Amino acid sequence: MYLADHTWPELGEALSDESVALVPLGSTEQHGPHLPLATDHLIAEALASAAAEETGAVRTPTVTVGVSPHHRQFPGTMWVDPPEFRDYVEGFTRNLAYHGIDRVVFVNAHGGNVQHLREVGRRLHEDETAYAIEWMWDESIPELVDDLFEHNGPHAGPKETAMITHIAPELVKTDRLEDARDDGLVHLDESDAVVHGARTYYDAVDNSANGAFGDPTDVTPEKAERLFEAASDQLVQLVEWLDARDRAELLPKDRVE
């Protein structure tokens, strides 16, 4: 159920204590020469919508701008600073709790959001407002991602190209796939990203001139469908697991005596 499509009387009847909400979060940032800036939030929204339809969980509006200053050199990229992002997400999650939702899944599709969403979840758990957990789609199916694509990449590579190929194929610039590969960084071990155990870069452009990593030419519609269905199935199972928990299981444990 998409929350914003309903009237308040309908929601008053539908929202109840111990209900689950799915909050899709992504970014608006460069994804190489072949994918739209909307890539991350489109993925998050599509997965959250599929899981909400399957489970009956509430889906909220999508957070479309995230923590993306490391892509700022590429035109069009938008970002917010971490403290403001954390406060914003925490604030509206507390709003959800006010209406009876006590468990939340942050359906995330942007790596730059991860640590901040986990911190928000920790705060909400600590004061017993809600049990909110961060879920990153590709981390739920790492073996499949590795099996499907020979040269993966953390950003604008085959896995994200596959997801947009499935969700919104008209937004993929198929004539730029080879450019993304040839002018980006296919082999991560060929960069100086880590030297003697130290991370040496701050921005994506330090490692990839066009912002793409991996080989997106390795994508087919069949692989794209398989990837999306596997990730959405993992999210459905997470929602069902969360819905089955007693509230007492989710609250912080007492101090050890």
- Residue 194: what pLDDT? 87
From 139, 162, 60, select the one nearest 101 (Cα to Cα).
60
**Over the chain, what is the mean pLDDT?**
95
Could you tell me if residue 146 is inside a domain? yes
Q: Supply 43's token pair.
A: 């993925």
pLDDT band at 34 (very low <50, low <70, confident <90, very high): very high
Dist CA 181 CA 82 (whole Å)? 31
pLDDT band at 188 (very low <50, low <70, confident <90, very high): confident
The predicted model gives 228-244 an average pLDDT of 97
Asked if pLDDT for residue 206 goes beyond 80, the answer is yes
Could you tell me if residue 52 is inside a domain? yes
**Per-residue pLDDT tens digits for 69-124:** 999 999 999 999 999 999 999 999 999 999 999 999 999 999 999 999 999 999 99
Could you tell me if residue 201 is inside a domain? yes
- Residue 189: what pLDDT? 79
**Per-residue pLDDT tens digits for 41-73:** 999 999 999 999 999 999 999 999 999 999 999
- Residue 37: what pLDDT? 98
The predicted model gives 200-214 an average pLDDT of 94
Asked if pLDDT for residue 131 goes beyond 90, the answer is yes
Cβ contact 52:22 at 8 Å: yes
- Residue 12: what pLDDT? 85
Q: Supply 231's token pair.
A: 């990730």
From 200, 187, 183, select the one nearest 150 (Cα to Cα).
187
Asked if pLDDT for residue 239 goes beyond 80, the answer is yes
The predicted model gives 140-156 an average pLDDT of 95
Could you tell me if residue 178 is inside a domain? yes
Could you tell me if residue 253 is inside a domain? no
Could you tell me if residue 255 is inside a domain? no
- Residue 212: what pLDDT? 97
Query: What are the start-end ranges of the E strands in the chain?
Result: 19-25, 58-59, 101-108, 131-136, 194-195, 198-199
Dist CA 62 CA 169 (whole Å)? 20
Q: Percent of the chain, pLDDT > 90?
A: 90
Asked if pLDDT for residue 18 goes beyond 80, the answer is no
Please tell me the total count of domains within the chain.
Answer: 1
- Residue 192: what pLDDT? 82
Instruction: Look up the pTM and report it.
Output: 0.96
CATH classification of the domain holding 126: 3.40.50.10310
- Residue 191: what pLDDT? 84
- Residue 209: what pLDDT? 95
* Domain extent for 99: 3-248
The predicted model gives 22-26 an average pLDDT of 98
Of 73-87, 144-158, 163-177, 179-193, the least confident = 179-193
- Residue 145: what pLDDT? 96
Q: Say whether 154 sits in a helix, a strand or coil.
A: coil
Pairing of strands 19-25, 101-108: parallel
